[in-house]
Structures are given as structure tokens and as C-alpha cells.
A and B are shown apart, each in its own frame.
Chain A
């Protein structure tokens, strides 16, 4: 897996640890190996949240654009 993503084994372990902590993957022990199952539903929830988070930022920044325009116009009067 480290090879596939072109990162060190340490980095892969770190990613797995975090993804496991937040429930996006879950481990299943099989003999000496651990298989990680991808929690598609949780990932979907997270992506959905993320899309909404991004949208909120976009909306706020558009609001800021308008505010800045208003302030600049008032300053030139």
C-alpha cells in the first residue's frame, strides 16, 4: 500500500490510524493479517458534510464580496 500511494509505511500507518479512529474504516483480524473494510456509508456522510461545509464557505465569501464592494463605494462618495 505504501508503494501504491508513494508514501512511507509510517505515513500509511498514520493515515490508517486516523481513518480508523473516525470510523471511516474498520479492522477485521484474519490470522496474522488485519483487513480494513471501507465504511462507505460513513464516508458518504462525511463527504456530504464536507460539501455542505464548502458551500457554507462559498456563500459567506460571496457575502463578503458584496460587503467589500459596498464599503468601497461608500468610501468614494
Chain B
């Protein structure tokens, strides 16, 4: 973990928007690929011990990515990303909504905007997430409660093994 890389995380509750900025020690083209290719996304885009699995992805305007976050006990939480705008290597926007395993979406979702730029070999990614409603945030809250419980259990096990 490189501690010199910027990581900014801000929430504007009234505007229902989350702003994230993160720097990566890699060229813009490679970082762009990591965010836009299923085989790369699936390797990093779920916080361990969760993992991501893409069923299919058409990265083009009007195309979709249908994927699931899978918890260690096998529970699948499906979601659909619909790509609304793409400027290769520098920007893409998508609309993200939870869904069932048959791709039926649960609206409302959230709007995501990704901006990529590079300076001196370091690529900066700005992500803006706009949630239409707090109901959706509460759904996320449920999902992360599961995640959080799992993390706490890992910690308990770890402490137990160290004592």
C-alpha cells in the first residue's frame, strides 16, 4: 500500500452525493482498463472477503454490465450498470441499480460519473455518486451490515488465533 497516493472521500448528505478521488501508480490507459473491463473489475471491485462476478458486460453507450457481489457464504447480490456516456480513457457515466438474478431492476438507482486524468505517471480517478433516494442508501446499509458482520467475525477469529 503506497501511502503517498491521494484518497479523498466526501459526502454531501443534502445533495445525496458522494465524492471520491483516488490516485493510482499506473498509466491512465491501464487504470481505465481496470475500471472498464470485466475480467479486471472482477479481480478488485469487491472488498474481500466479498468477491465480484460479472455475468456479462457490454461497455458501450446503452450497454450494460450485469454482475453480483458474492459474500463468503455464497449469498449473491445482483446489480445492473447501464452506461450512459463514454469518452474513451477519460470519462464514463453509468446508472447503477440493484436487481434480482433475472436482471429485473429495483429502482431507484444511483448515477455514477468517473473522470480519469494522468500526471507524471500517476493517474487520478474522480468518482461522483448521486443517489436519488435514501431508500437506496438504506438498502446499501443492509448489504454492508452483512459485510460488516463478516469483517467483525474475521477480526474475532484473528484475535482468538493470536491469543
Contacts and interface: CB of A to CB of B under 8 A. Distances in A.
B29 to A, nearest CB: 11
A67 to B, nearest CB: 5
A72 B30 contact: yes
Chain B, interface SS category = mixed
A49 B137 CA distance: 9
Interface string B2-32: 1001010101011010101010111000110
A21 interface: yes
Contacts, number: 77
B24 A56 contact: no
Contact of B14 (A18, A52, A54, A69): A18
Contact of B25 (A54, A60, A68): A68
B14 A72 contact: no
A22 B131 CA distance: 12
B108 interface: no
Chain A binding surface, main DSSP class: helix
B30 A60 contact: no
Contacts of A2: none
28 contacts: A15-B14, A19-B13, A22-B137, A46-B137, A46-B141, A49-B137, A49-B140, A49-B141, A53-B140, A53-B144, A55-B47, A56-B144, A57-B20, A60-B44, A60-B47, A62-B1, A63-B47, A64-B44, A65-B5, A65-B24, A67-B34, A67-B40, A67-B43, A67-B44, A68-B26, A68-B31, A68-B34, A69-B25
